[in-house]
Amino acid sequence: MRKGKTSYHHGNLAESLLDAVDEIATRFGLEAVTLRACAKLIGVSPSSAFRHYADKRSLLTAFATRALDQLSVAMLQARNAPDEPQPGDNAFTRVGLAYVKFALDKPAFFRAMWSEETLYTNDENYTRAANQLSAHLKDGFGETLKDNDPDNLSAKELLAWSALHGLANLFVDGPIGKNASRDEKLMMAREMILAAAPALSAHES
């Protein structure tokens, strides 16, 4: 989390407001986010903020869109990263850990992505980002599992996503790992992924 006032760079107000959402939501929760609070944090007038986002829902929709895009990129980068010299390391392990790392490092983004009651889910950019991430998950969970139908989630893809999303959520908002360090949580995640491997059968590298 950043300390001090969020900086605003001229000409990039829309993105600076999203940075402010991240800071406020990380500290106080998504319910504390308002356009006025974000404008105040970066030192601009509320009227300037309203020129970019009509209301709080529009602001959170843009924030969730950014989150979906960043998670898609993180999964793709993990998929293409070289293997590390650790037992059980493969593309599926890397992509799974990337999902959990995203939640640990960007909890506000993680909470916002699927918070549909606070979003304009028919927004064009949000729909594109959600469909893109969904495609990664349907396509063999980031192309790491054997997949015969890239248009639908198989039982194994559902198992992988449910397990990883559930653990990430338990880390972010639940009782698991409250006193554990980030590295300890990631070790727990790795062990869970390895435990799930037999049910997911062979991984595609």
Residues 113-128 pLDDT 10s? 988 899 999 999 999 9
Residue 30's domain spans which residues? 1-53
Give the pLDDT score at 11.
61
134 shares its domain with 170: yes
Give the chain's mean pLDDT.
89
Give the pLDDT score at 81.
86
Assign 60 a pLDDT band (cuts: 50, 70, 90): very high
Give the pLDDT score at 85.
67
Give the pLDDT score at 82.
79
125 shares its domain with 194: yes
Contacts for 151-156: CB closer than 8 Å, 24+ residues apart: 156/199, 156/200, 156/201
Contact (Cβ atoms closer than 8 angstroms) between residue 91 and residue 143: yes
101 shares its domain with 15: no
49 shares its domain with 107: no
Q: Taking residues 93-120, what's their average pLDDT?
A: 94
142 shares its domain with 173: yes
Look up the CATH number of the domain holding residue 34: 1.10.10
78 shares its domain with 147: yes
Give the residues across from 145 on adjacent strands: 203
Note whether residue 95 is domain-resident: yes
Give the pLDDT score at 9.
52
Contact (Cβ atoms closer than 8 angstroms) between residue 74 and residue 101: yes
49 shares its domain with 67: no
Cα–Cα dist 14/42, whole Å: 11
Assign 199 a pLDDT band (cuts: 50, 70, 90): confident
| Number of domains comprising the chain | 2
Give the pLDDT score at 42.
94
The dihedrals phi and psi of 145, each to the nearest 5 degrees, come to: -120, 155
Q: Taking residues 160-178, what's their average pLDDT?
A: 93
pTM above 0.85, yes or no: yes
Q: Taking residues 35-61, what's their average pLDDT?
A: 94
Note whether residue 163 is domain-resident: yes
Q: Taking residues 76-88, what's their average pLDDT?
A: 80
Assign 1 a pLDDT band (cuts: 50, 70, 90): very low
